[in-house]
Structure formats: structure tokens, C-alpha cells
Structure 1
Amino acid sequence: MSQTVAVFDIGKTNVKLALFDHGRLLWEKTAPNRVLLGPPYPHEDVETAWNFFLDALREAARTHRIDAIVPTAHGAAGALIGESNLAAPVLDYEFAGVEVIEPEYAKLRPPFAESLSPNLPAGLNLGRQLAYQKWRCPDLFAKARHFVGYPQYWAWRLSGVAVSEVTTLGAHADLWAPRQGQPSSLVKSLSVEHLLPPLRRAFDPLGPIKPEIAATCRLAPETPVFCGIHDSNASLLPYLVSRQAPFTVLSTGTWVILMCVGLSLEKLDPRDDTLANVDALGRPIACGRFMGGREYAVIARGGGNPEPGALERVIASGAMALPCFTGHGGPYATSKGKIRGDVATRDRTALATLYCALVSDLMLTRMGVTGGDLIVEGTFAGNLPFCQALGALRPAQRVFRAEDAAGTARGAAMLAHWPPSYHIAEPGPVAPMSMTGLDAYRKAWTAAVDKIAR
């Protein structure tokens, strides 16, 4: 039976409404996501995003019956909610001003062995955002009844039901103890236990959509709203139900998230920005991350993919990109990126491609990944030379690419009928390809990187 699922997909760069029926994309609409400068601090432009979603729902409902709604959002955001509205704006995770509380916050942060969450800059640790709001915005904080992850904010706004969910609490937030499957000691240290609503699973229906939203958007009043999920974990869902461990998914966009299913957690090192995320079933997953999409854009001076043969030209030239170009993510976030050697303007995308493949390979090696399939999904799946370079760097693993720009939203849509009974589309294999001089280039790049302090 047909079931059309509407997904609210809130990324750092864009917001999207996408409709799916048994995994098939039916309709989508996208708009830029904005950050407002303040006051009281830089924050997500929630109201513009909300109005976009209402307008998009109305438009979609003219031609489709919407049977369920599922939200997914990036992990480094949470919402303090009051009786009926936000108690405080949703803080932008790139706001470095939160670091002013660091001496006090450092005393409360759980050790890495407990949270498996590295100490990240700005607001990338959600617990630091919460502490900042409590200590520096006490009047706003006092109005809060709940603190929820960003996907669950949208679920609450649609349904009126406030819940907690592990994929967001467990996404480098300092707020979750993955091995114990419970909130970390930080929750008690901050005295915010009362703000965390009951825990629900990502695939739990929370209730029907609010009547006024149903009427405004011309939806059936019984349309269910589901709990929702952290976006990288949404990308992982199709593979959790269609593949046997071990395997690794590279979820790519603004960030590259390396999710290594079946890998031991023992080699995780906070200095490398390797950590444990928590999947939709509550299981810790070894992960690494770097801001690959944004670094690519800086190195390439824009977007686009390299032309055939461009990677070999860069390798032959010896030109290299050395980390880090964004100040966020990966083993060398505190180092200032630089280009060594000369590279033609037309080959900047090839240099960026090599850089992102080398950083991915480096992080996988440090995490202890030696086998299992590698699946590239998201933006970099459309960059065949990236997938080929990754395959050449890691010949013991088969590389696949999911040429699906809607991968995150498609995964989230699965939550409305979990576990899915329909066929999951397989990613396409990437043919192995040797690149002349790549081994020597990697050795030289690794030697240069080894001189950079972590």
C-alpha cells in the first residue's frame, strides 16, 4: 500500500522538504538555511525555516496525500523550549563566543572514556551550548521546560510532544554515555536532568500533527509525526538493514562523517576527532569526522568536480593541500591550511579531491579500519575521481557510491515504517583504478602532515 512520507531535512547549509513512497523520491523543495547574528548570540533562523516548511507542505499537499512526517537535522543544535515557544534561540554551533565559559565547563566535561565525545571547538559539543545558555543567558534559560535535540524540536513544533532521542544526544554532545546507554555525568553536573524529556526511539510516532497545522497545510488531522533522527544516522539507516558488518559509510556534505559499523571502539582518539555516535537502535558506532565539504570548497575556490586526468596531473606536479582550511573537524583542526607547490586553476578541484581522499584514508587507518565495504553517499558520491582515489588508497576494501542527493532524507523516511519491508536500492560499485605516482604522493603528504602538531 502506498504511504507518502514527508521529511523535514534541516542541514547546516540548506533546508529541504522531500516526499517519499517506499524509498522512491516523489517531490522535493529546497531553500537556503540562514544564521541570524543575534541578539543574544548567533542563532538558527528558525522562523524562516518554519515558514518554508509550511509553504512547502501546502504546495506538496496539492498533488500528494501526506501520510506521515519525519524530521532529521544536523547534530550540533538543540532547543530550549518553554510552554509553547522557544525559550531561547537555537544557538549556531559555529559561534566561538561559547568558549568564554571553557574554564568552568572543562571542570564538568565527562572524560572521553565515558562520553566518547572529543573536546571540539565553538559549539560543536552540544553540552557546551547548554552550559553557555544556562550561565550567560539565565533569564532565557529560566523560561525553559525542556531541552531537546534539533530533530525533536521540529517534531515538538509539529505535534506538541517533547521527547529526547539518542542519535542526537549521542552525537559528540558530551550529554550521553554510549557504553552505558544513559545520560552522561554532565547532565547531573549541570543540574539539567529536569529538562530532558522522556526518551523515545527515532522511529516512534509521537502523535498526530497539531490541528491548526493540519488545517493550514490541508493535511489529514490524523497525520502522525515521528520522533526523528540525527542526519548522519539517517544516512546510515539503509545500510543497517541491507548489509552485514563490518562496513563503513562516508556521509558527505558540509561534513564528512566516517561511520564504521562493526569496528571496535578501542582505537578512538579525541585528538583525531574520532568518536562514537549512537545509531537509531542505541548502539555506539565508531566514527570520524572532518569538515570535508567546506574544506573542498576553500581549496577548489568553489564547487564542481575534477576533469578526467586532473588528479594524475596534480600528483605529477607534487602540489599538495595540507590541513586545515576551516578550523573545524579532523585531526588538525587547529592548524592553518596551506597549499604547497603550484597548481593550475583548472586543477584546483583535483587538488581538493586528493586532499579529501587522503584525510579520509588517514582517519580510517588511525581508527583501525582494515576491511569491509566502503560506501560513499552524499555530495562526494557524485565525484567519481574521489571514489576512485579512495579505492586506490584502500585496495583491501571495495568502494561503492550511492548516487543519491536525497540519501539523508531517504533514510529518515524509513523511520515511518521501521523496519522497512520494501527493497533497499544498492549503491553502485566503483571500478578499481590505479593512479600513477599515488603511493609516493601519499607517503610525501603523510610525512608533511606528520610534522603538524595535533
Structure 2
Amino acid sequence: MPKPVIAIFDVGKTNKKLFLIDENYQIVYERSARFVETVDEDGEPCENLDSLKSSVYDSLNQVLQMKEFDIKAVNFSTYGASFVYLDENGEPLTPLYNYLKEYPEALKNEFYAKYGGEEKISLETASPILGSLNSGMQLYRLKHEKPEVFDKIKWALHLPQYLSYLITGKAVADITSIGCHTQLWDFNKNQYHNWVSEEEINEKFGEFTAADSSIETKFEGSSFKVGVGLHDSSAALIPYLANFNTPFVLISTGTWCISLNPFNQDPLTKEELKQDCLCYMHFKGKPIKASRIFAGYEHEIQLKRIADHFDRAAYLFKHLKFNPSLILKLANKIPENQSDQTKFSAVSAFGERELSIFQTAEEAYHQLIFDLIKQQIYSLKLILNTGVRRIFVDGGFGKNAIYMHLLATSIPDIEVYASSVSQATAIGTALAINDAWNSNPAPTDMIQLKYYSAIQRTI
């Protein structure tokens, strides 16, 4: 008898994956693809939309033919801040512009002068000023630079909703995409910001649809439910929300280290926005206050500097054990490390440190992590509120024993866990529409945790 499954398309900037997930949330099939980027009309790199579209159709057709699986539902998660502009026939009118594309300064200044200034728009939309990464600004640019193209747009869909549209033919808008650093959503009024209607941009969006809803769809002779798609950062949080009711913060670590607090709905302040805080959107429509630092990138840069200085291979540091005696030694050598004097800061101090003061590569690396932790705690405290009792760390730093011990030491009143969910984004995207395809409740053992206890904290 065929196994009931949900098909999840998880589309990152580099890897595009298809997962089949069974009713117990086990991944029973995985397929991965990578595409060569194309360029837009300015010669700047961007996603190959034709390849992506073909891949979705081909992959779905392939798994529908597999006799061992019964596809009950399909859903999508992708990176954010990317619009697909469709004409009345559902064909893309432009390339899928890269969210890192430089934004014209004159147009940016004109927009903020017209609608009340950067600070006002930022506070109301919970979005730092990020140029093209504010996807609403991409639409504003298209309207004012290429009005003839803008006039032809029937639908402007964020990438997850475009992939859903490919299967359902139904244009929808989703809060996890619309509400995340787009400058489209007024968090105070819980509706599109007034500039969106004044520019007649809201007419290009699909019908606003709940992120946990699905549409019964017929495709190539098969019938199944199709979700509306989710922004990947919001999707990755869903397994934690499904498994834990006690207030927590998730620190998602990679190139960026993003602290997400789904239990903090306080409006962003001017000071928080200036320090790169923003709001993501919970798939049920609540704001998720977040702060971020470029710590993974800084770690890679400084690790290379240490490895070069001490003539060591960088990979040897990956599984370095925590050495409390080195921390004591560094506290005597660098006064600012002493626990009663530790100053948390917005930037890591390690880039300015002379490596000659360290006797060994291990000593230097412990100081690097110590400096990154000072920065992490600074960032974390921007979004921490009373009631939070647990910190979960997933991604690369969750596997770093030195990082985890020093983090636990720095916040002794909060339980600290290294956590991991296999393919958290895909699992979260399936969980969002669990009731549409799965008769079972969400399992409670999908997150692996390693607790850093009070005893381990003692230095």
C-alpha cells in the first residue's frame, strides 16, 4: 500500500530541494538540484526562473509516478524578498531580480521624502532600511523606472506564492512573506501600509490567504492539497512552536546569527531599528521580534587569520574542546574578559586584537569565540523579554562546544540548549498545513536537544 506523504519544495539561493515527508515526519525521499544563475537586463546575476519552473514541474511529475508514495499535499518554502511579476497569462514579465541589487539613491530619497521619512516608515513597517532587500521597494522601483512593464503586471507574487501558483493557478499573498522586512505591512494597523495603496501596488497582490490554509488542486490527473508557501525563516521556527509552549528564543546560526523571539510583540523602537532589529512574521500572523549579527561571516574571516598566523589548518578548529583554564588565563591577560567587567558590544573586538599576544592557536580561538559571545549577548538582549526561560541554538554554532559553554556562562538564569531539527525549514513547511494531509498530531520528538547545565557553566 502506498505511503501517504507530503511533498515539500525547499528553495534556497544555492540548493533547491524536494522532500517527501511521511505522517511521522520522517523524510522518506530527497532530491536536490542546483542551477546556473542567469543575468538581468543590467548584467547582474539572478535566479534562473525558467530552470526553477521546469524543475518544479518535472520533480512533481516524477514523484507522482512513484507507486510507493501517495502524495496527499504539496507546499513550498523559499528565501524571501523576491517578487515574480506575472502578466494576465501568468507569464513572468521580468527576471527574478536579486535582492542584493543596488537600489538607486535618488529614487530611495524621493520615496522617503514623499512618505514621511526613513524613521517613520521603518517604525511602522518594522523594517530597517535595506534597499532591494525591502521587497516593496523593488515594486516601487519597477513602477517608476519601467511604468510600461508595471502596467502589464496582473500579479506580483513573492517567490513561495509563485511556486504555489504554478500548481494551483491561484494568486495569493501570504503574511510570512508580506510581513518580513518588505516595508509593505503596517504592523500598528495590521494591514498594508498606506503608501502601498497610494501607489496602487496592493492591486497587484493576490488574495490574502492564511499561511496554514491549503487549496484542493488537480494536477496531471492527481488530486491533492496545495499550501500557499512560506518564507523560509518563518518556516524553520514552526517545529519549535509546535513542540514548546514555554517562552523561548531561537538563535539560528549561519553566516548571519539571527535571534528570533516569537513571544515578544512589543513594537520596535528607533534604537532597536538602528541596531538592525526587525520583525519576522509568525505563520499565524503575529510579529516575531528579531535581531541579527554577521557573526558567522566574522568567525570565518578571523578563523582564517588565526590559522594563517599559527600555520594551522582551519578545519582543525571545528571540533576543538572547551578549555576552562584557557578562559581563566585570558581573563588575566585581557582585563575586559573578567566576568564582573565584561562589556557586551555591538561589534566583535577580535578583528582589532594583535595575534602575537596569544601563545597558541587554541588560546586565540577561545578569545575569538569569547568576543563573538559578547556580541551575541548584546544582540540577544535587544529582543529578550521577561518570561523567556530557554535559548535554543541551531546551525553551526550549536555544534561548537566553546561557543555553547560561553553562551551558557553569560546568561546563567536561562536554560541553554544546542538544538537541531533535520531539515527544519521543510519540516516546518509541512507542519504549517499538517491538518490538511495528516490525521496524526505533530510529533513531540522531532527536535534533538543538548542541555548545557549549571555544572558545565562553572569556570
Report the TM-score, using the length of structure 1 for normalisation.
0.80
Distance 1:158 1:264, change over 3 A: closer
Q: Which of 69, 73, 77 is residue 68 of structure 1 equivalent to?
A: 73
* Secondary structure at the counterpart of residue 196 of structure 2: helix
Q: Comparing 278-287 with 27-36, which one deviates more in the overlay?
A: 27-36
2:409 equivalent to 1:386 = no
Distance 1:112 1:145, change over 3 A: same
Question: Residue by residue, what CA displacement relative to the aligned partner does 1:229-253 show, whole Å, maximum 9, x if unpaired?
Answer: 1111111112223322421112334
Contact conserved, 1:378 with 1:405, CA < 8 A, in 2? Answer: no
Q: Which of 364, 381, 391 is residue 365 of structure 1 equivalent to?
A: 381
* Secondary structure at the counterpart of residue 174 of structure 1: coil
Q: Which of 340, 343, 362 is residue 353 of structure 2 equivalent to?
A: 340
For residues 125 and 315 of structure 1, the distance between their equivalents in structure 2, rounded to whole angstroms, comes to: 45
For residues 170 and 7 of structure 1, the distance between their equivalents in structure 2, rounded to whole angstroms, comes to: 22
Distance 1:99 1:396, change over 3 A: farther
Shift of 1:164: 0.4
Q: Comparing 125-134 with 27-36, which one deviates more in the overlay?
A: 27-36
User: What are the within-5 Å matches in structure 2 for residues 346-425 of structure 1?
Assistant: 353-354=369-370, 356-369=372-385, 371-418=388-435, 421-425=441-445
Contact conserved, 1:260 with 1:285, CA < 8 A, in 2? Answer: yes
Equivalent residue, structure 2, for 1:102: 108
Shift of 1:60: 4.3
2:293 equivalent to 1:290 = yes
Contact conserved, 2:349 with 2:371, CA < 8 A, in 1? Answer: no
**Count of residues paired in the alignment:** 416
Shift of 1:26: 1.6
Contact conserved, 2:125 with 2:187, CA < 8 A, in 1? Answer: yes
Question: Residue by residue, what CA displacement relative to the aligned partner does 1:137-183 show, whole Å, maximum 9, x if unpaired?
Answer: 33332321111222111111222111001111110111012232211
Equivalent residue, structure 1, for 2:310: none
For residues 364 and 99 of structure 2, the distance between their equivalents in structure 1, rounded to whole angstroms, comes to: 29
Q: Which of 136, 146, 152 is residue 143 of structure 1 equivalent to?
A: 152
User: What are the within-5 Å matches in structure 2 for residues 188-267 of structure 1?
Assistant: 188-208=197-217, 211=219, 214=220, 221-266=222-267
For residues 327 and 257 of structure 2, the distance between their equivalents in structure 1, rounded to whole angstroms, comes to: 23
Contact conserved, 1:124 with 1:172, CA < 8 A, in 2? Answer: yes
Shift of 1:69: 1.0
Question: Residue by residue, what CA displacement relative to the aligned partner does 1:266-293 show, whole Å, maximum 9, x if unpaired?
Answer: 5641111112222111111211123444
Question: Residue by residue, what CA displacement relative to the aligned partner does 1:99-123 show, whole Å, maximum 9, x if unpaired?
Answer: 4522112233653332121212x42
Equivalent residue, structure 1, for 2:309: none
2:137 equivalent to 1:134 = no
The structure with the larger Rg is 2
For residues 258 and 211 of structure 2, the distance between their equivalents in structure 1, rounded to whole angstroms, comes to: 20
Contact conserved, 1:181 with 1:282, CA < 8 A, in 2? Answer: no
For residues 249 and 153 of structure 1, the distance between their equivalents in structure 2, rounded to whole angstroms, comes to: 28
Equivalent residue, structure 2, for 1:449: none
Shift of 1:411: 0.7
2:182 equivalent to 1:155 = no
Contact conserved, 2:261 with 2:384, CA < 8 A, in 1? Answer: no
* Secondary structure at the counterpart of residue 249 of structure 1: strand
For residues 253 and 405 of structure 1, the distance between their equivalents in structure 2, rounded to whole angstroms, comes to: 15
For residues 381 and 138 of structure 1, the distance between their equivalents in structure 2, rounded to whole angstroms, comes to: 48
Could you tell me which runs of 5 or more consecutive residues in structure 1 were left unpaired when the two chains were aligned: 215-219, 321-330, 437-454
Return the letter of the residue paired with 1:76: A
For residues 279 and 136 of structure 2, the distance between their equivalents in structure 1, rounded to whole angstroms, comes to: 16
Question: Residue by residue, what CA displacement relative to the aligned partner does 1:166-218 show, whole Å, maximum 9, x if unpaired?
Answer: 11111011101223221112312332121111100112113415x3xx3xxxx
Contact conserved, 1:300 with 1:351, CA < 8 A, in 2? Answer: no
For residues 427 and 164 of structure 2, the distance between their equivalents in structure 1, rounded to whole angstroms, comes to: 17
Return the letter of the residue paired with 2:243: S
Shift of 1:403: 2.2
Q: Comparing 178-187 with 153-162, which one deviates more in the overlay?
A: 178-187
% identical aligned pairs: 22
How much is the aligned-residue C-alpha RMSD, in angstroms?
3.3
Q: Which of 46, 49, 57 is residue 43 of structure 1 equivalent to?
A: 46
Contact conserved, 1:267 with 1:367, CA < 8 A, in 2? Answer: no
For residues 188 and 172 of structure 1, the distance between their equivalents in structure 2, rounded to whole angstroms, comes to: 18
Equivalent residue, structure 1, for 2:307: none
Contact conserved, 1:200 with 1:227, CA < 8 A, in 2? Answer: yes
Q: Which of 94, 97, 102 is residue 91 of structure 1 equivalent to?
A: 97
For residues 52 and 315 of structure 1, the distance between their equivalents in structure 2, rounded to whole angstroms, comes to: 54
* Secondary structure at the counterpart of residue 9 of structure 1: strand
Contact conserved, 1:232 with 1:257, CA < 8 A, in 2? Answer: no
For residues 298 and 86 of structure 1, the distance between their equivalents in structure 2, rounded to whole angstroms, comes to: 39
Report the TM-score, using the length of structure 2 for normalisation.
0.79
Return the letter of the residue paired with 1:272: Q
* Secondary structure at the counterpart of residue 376 of structure 1: strand
Equivalent residue, structure 2, for 1:451: none
For residues 69 and 246 of structure 2, the distance between their equivalents in structure 1, rounded to whole angstroms, comes to: 37
Shift of 1:33: 6.0
Distance 1:272 1:435, change over 3 A: farther
Shift of 1:377: 2.6
Contact conserved, 1:98 with 1:128, CA < 8 A, in 2? Answer: no
Equivalent residue, structure 2, for 1:275: 278
For residues 315 and 37 of structure 1, the distance between their equivalents in structure 2, rounded to whole angstroms, comes to: 53
Contact conserved, 2:264 with 2:385, CA < 8 A, in 1? Answer: yes
